[in-house]
Amino acid sequence: MNILVIGSGGREHALVKRIAQSPLAKKIYALPGNPGMREAAAVPGNPMDNADTVKKAIELGIDFAVVAPDDPLANGLVDALEEGGIPCFGPSRQAAQLESSKVFAKELMQKYQIPTARFRAFTQVAPALAYLNDHPLPAVIKADGLAKGKGVIIAESLQEAEDAVKAMLQDKAFGESGSRIIIEEFLQGPEVSVLTLTDGENLVPLPSAMDHKRAGENDTGLNTGGMGVIAPTPFYTEEVAKEAMDAIFLPTLKAMKAEGRVFRGCIFFGLMITDKGPRVLEYNARFGDPETQAVLELVEGDLLAAMLACRKGALKADTLKSTGKHACCVVLASKGYPGQFETGFPITVAEEVAPFVHYAGVKQTDQGLVTSGGRVMSVTCTGDTLKEARDKAYEGVKGVHFTGKYFRRDIGASAL
Ligand SMILES: Nc1ncnc2c1ncn2[C@@H]1O[C@H](COP(=O)(O)OP(=O)(O)O)[C@@H](O)[C@H]1O
Ligand SMILES: [Mg+2]
């Protein structure tokens, strides 16, 4: 089969690598792809241009497309490709609202009694401020729509909470994404990400993962797209996993079906393991980055076959089996990220490290590879223990060089 993967980050690099191992894959294309994807032919293009992407997919004779990033999903790329006769892995625009509208997701959870933080949704400043008056602190304020991971404010004081409400609803700090907001209860506990594959009725969870969102060590500094991951996380015990499956995962699929929005693709459950059990923080309608780089290393089986089964409605529980190993992924960023940073620095990757590297903000030039983004690449290694995986990953990091290479030295430290 001819496969098209949409996207250009480390996540897509990991997906391409894995899809290439499938005997079902004949030729793989990536739009726009990145220079690390040896197994895929790059197709220049803009994933937000549905008509152009469909046209290119038809010209290339694509048999199956994998739409990975959030914006194209919210923009209905899967619907457009399917209408153009190209089957896809990924949710329709309607189903992708599980991520692209936090108000939709919260109201769904409320309606179908899926455990999550107590909340109220607002479009007007005055009632939101009135609600805050009786709200315990900290209060969590969330923009409804996609906000590149910046749309959530945990307000420690009433003043901060009021400022956040006004910034979103009045000053449109997040544009349309913040024209509706949520004010919700603050939850405590370890955070766990569970990526799952689903055909709308059946669901296969991949090993649990823990991202490190803040730029600085010991979870200080600004929020980023993710600075590193360990998988599985010790907090996601078998008991918690069972509760999550029965009280959260399967009820979510049923709810989406009942709403006429059958979800096929990857649901990423962002969970808080509270002392009352797992609670949904948010849904993502896609694979996570960098979670994907880590968890795909921990399962055996044909990923492409599993994705095809998701599309057909024939996903089997034993498609992807856990190896029982541990993974650690360390992201190498440009100094200054997520604030201002410089790009264009030459990159070298030691030969023995290359198989463990996923490219993200990397550009091919006549002079070789240079940095072109905030998150430049990531190094992912596995081991029989978390410690082994971690030691290997940090050893691997030493084999990658570029000016301003920045990484957190404490990925997974809290879980050891
Ligand atoms: N109700 C909550 N209580 C405590 N922390 C929260 C809550 N909701 C979100 N957070 C924190 O904020 C982060 C971002 O929130 P999330 O809902 O995942 O939105 P997004 O990923 O779209 O920014 C979470 O990873 C979590 O650390
Ligand atoms: Mg999140």
Question: What is the amino acid identity at position 177?
Answer: S
Q: Is 277 in the pocket of ligand 1 (CB under 6 A)?
A: no
Q: What is the pLDDT of residue 148?
A: 85
Check if the beta carbon of residue 380 is closer than 8 Å to that of residue 411.
no
Q: Is 270 in the pocket of ligand 1 (CB under 6 A)?
A: yes
Q: Is 281 in the pocket of ligand 1 (CB under 6 A)?
A: yes
- 133-138: average pLDDT: 95
Question: What is the pLDDT confidence band of residue 318, given thresholds at 50, 70 and 90?
Answer: confident
Give the DSSP per-residue string, 66-111. Answer: EE-SHHHHHTTHHHHHHHTT--EES--HHHHHHHH-HHHHHHHHHH
Task: Output the average pLDDT for the chain.
Answer: 97
Q: What is the pLDDT of residue 149?
A: 82
Report the distance separating Cα 254 and Cα 231, nearest Å: 28
Could you read off the pLDDT of 91-124 as tens digits, one per residue? 999 999 999 999 999 999 999 999 999 999 999 9
Spatial CB neighbours of 106, under 8 Å, sequence gap ≥ 6: 116, 119, 121, 182, 184
The ligand 1 atom at the shortest distance from the C-alpha of residue 185 is 1
Q: What is the pLDDT of residue 157?
A: 97
Report the distance separating Cα 108 and Cα 24, nearest Å: 37
CATH class of the 327-415 domain in this structure: alpha beta
Q: Separation of 38 CA from ligand 1 center, angstroms?
A: 35
The protein residue with its alpha carbon nearest to ligand 1, atom 12, reads: 152
Q: Is 282 in the pocket of ligand 1 (CB under 6 A)?
A: yes
Q: Does 25 or 319 have the greater pLDDT score?
A: 25
Evaluate if residue 317 carries a pLDDT over 90: no
Options 3.30.365.10, 3.30.470.20, 3.20.20.450, 1.20.120.80; CATH of 191-322: 3.30.470.20
Among the ranges given (103-112, 171-180, 253-262), the one the predictor scored with the smallest mean pLDDT: 171-180
CATH number of 2-90: 3.40.50.20
Q: Separation of 281 CA from ligand 1 center, angstroms?
A: 6
How do the domains of the chain map onto residue ranges?
2-90, 118-185, 191-322, 327-415
The protein residue with its alpha carbon nearest to ligand 1, atom 17, reads: 282
Q: Which of 118, 154, 276, 291 to mutate to test the pocket of ligand 1 (most atoms within 8 A of CB)?
A: 154
Q: Is 140 in the pocket of ligand 1 (CB under 6 A)?
A: yes
Options 3.40.50.1100, 3.40.50.620, 3.40.50.150, 3.30.1490.20; CATH of 118-185: 3.30.1490.20
Structure-token pair, residue 77: 């790329």
Q: Is 175 in the pocket of ligand 1 (CB under 6 A)?
A: no
Q: Is 192 in the pocket of ligand 1 (CB under 6 A)?
A: no
Give the DSSP per-residue string, 229-250. Answer: EEES-TTS-HHHHHHHIIIIIH
Q: Which of 282, 287, 414 to mutate to test the pocket of ligand 1 (most atoms within 8 A of CB)?
A: 282
Q: Is 163 in the pocket of ligand 1 (CB under 6 A)?
A: no
Q: Is 248 in the pocket of ligand 1 (CB under 6 A)?
A: no
Q: Is 151 in the pocket of ligand 1 (CB under 6 A)?
A: yes
Check if the beta carbon of residue 305 is closer than 8 Å to that of residue 319.
yes
Question: What is the pLDDT confidence band of residue 150, given thresholds at 50, 70 and 90?
Answer: confident
Could you read off the pLDDT of 213-238 as tens digits, one per residue? 999 999 999 989 999 999 999 999 99
Report the distance separating Cα 262 and Cα 285, nearest Å: 12
Evaluate if residue 19 carries a pLDDT over 90: yes
The ligand 1 atom at the shortest distance from the C-alpha of residue 150 is 23
State the maximum Cα–Cα separation within the chain, in Å, rounded to a whole number.
61
Q: Separation of 154 CA from ligand 1 center, angstroms?
A: 8
